[in-house]
Structure 1
């Protein structure tokens, strides 16, 4: 098992990006695909996309992020890649509806962000479950589903 105990840099850093580009041509860049909860952890075990077993042991002052480089050697690199996050997108039909649905999402402790007049709810499970929870807003025409 490979022990990774520091973040070397980010895949966008100039010198690091050049090295990764060269290693990528040889097919030796591996990715650790993490979800949003994994990046908050300082210790975890997992396999890269090519099967290398890794134990991450970071100090408390280091945070994982998309593009974090955990290993950069002449013949191998390991880079953090964030898993794709899916959203349920809603457009409130009025200011009052926006306040009501926003209050509801807050009470549900759902993570949200905004894109113009669209409320984007970060999914942490099947989309259908979220739709079931907000169906009364849809049936009362307080929000409309927006397809990305």
Structure 2
């Protein structure tokens, strides 16, 4: 089976509707969410090719396949993250500037900044005394590096 487009996302389906399906999951690392072409295997051992026609990242909950009884959806493996919780706008500005200089991609959930674990960033946060914790957590989308050069 080759998947060329995403059917929907499970969050856009009604809960009662989802309960009527047998669900298989494809577990991906967050970095694999950016790959348009890949071969994957469901948690039931079914091999699937993904070759998306439209250039877009996969997102947790994307439905790859749907028939009368079955759904195959994307799930994401947990990443090793630093969850940064600045106490003020000043702390957010300082750490955002520091991480921006390192070209580290970040995601935001409410008042927290999430970055993939890096021991140098951990040392920086300790030095700046900005509150953080290290945690294994699933993210919905890939950490995307933004192309930039200092030319």
Aligned-pair Cα RMSD in Å: 3.1
- 1:37 deviation in Å? 2.5
Aligned counterpart for 1:79 among listed residues 56, 69, 73: 73
Kindly report which structure 2 residues correspond to 1:63-102, keeping only aligned pairs within 5 A, or say none: 63-92=57-86, 97-102=91-96
Is residue 32 of structure 2 the alignment partner of residue 34 of structure 1?
A: no
Secondary structure at the counterpart of residue 78 of structure 1:
strand
Q: For residue 129 of structure 2, what is the aligned residue in structure 1?
A: 142
Q: For residue 143 of structure 2, what is the aligned residue in structure 1?
A: none
Gaps of 5+ in 2: 136-151
Aligned length: 134
Question: What TM-score comes out, normalization by structure 2 length?
Answer: 0.67
Work out which of the two has the higher radius of gyration on C-alpha atoms and give 1 or 2.
Answer: 1
Relative contact order higher in (CA < 8 Å, ≥ 6 apart): 2
Aligned counterpart for 1:122 among listed residues 115, 119, 144: 115
Q: For residue 54 of structure 2, what is the aligned residue in structure 1?
A: 60
Instruction: Give the direction of change, closer, same or farther, for the CA distance of 1:109–1:6 in structure 2 (3 Å limit).
Output: same
Instruction: Give the direction of change, closer, same or farther, for the CA distance of 1:6–1:121 in structure 2 (3 Å limit).
Output: closer
Q: Could you tell me how far apart the structure 2 residues matched to 1:121 and 1:55 are?
A: 31
Gaps of 5+ in 1: none
Deviations 1:24-76 (A, max 9, x none): 3xxxx211122332222221111111111110011025542222211112453
Q: Could you tell me how far apart the structure 1 residues matched to 2:3 and 2:132 are?
A: 43
Question: What TM-score comes out, normalization by structure 1 length?
Answer: 0.68
Q: Which has the higher helix share?
A: 1
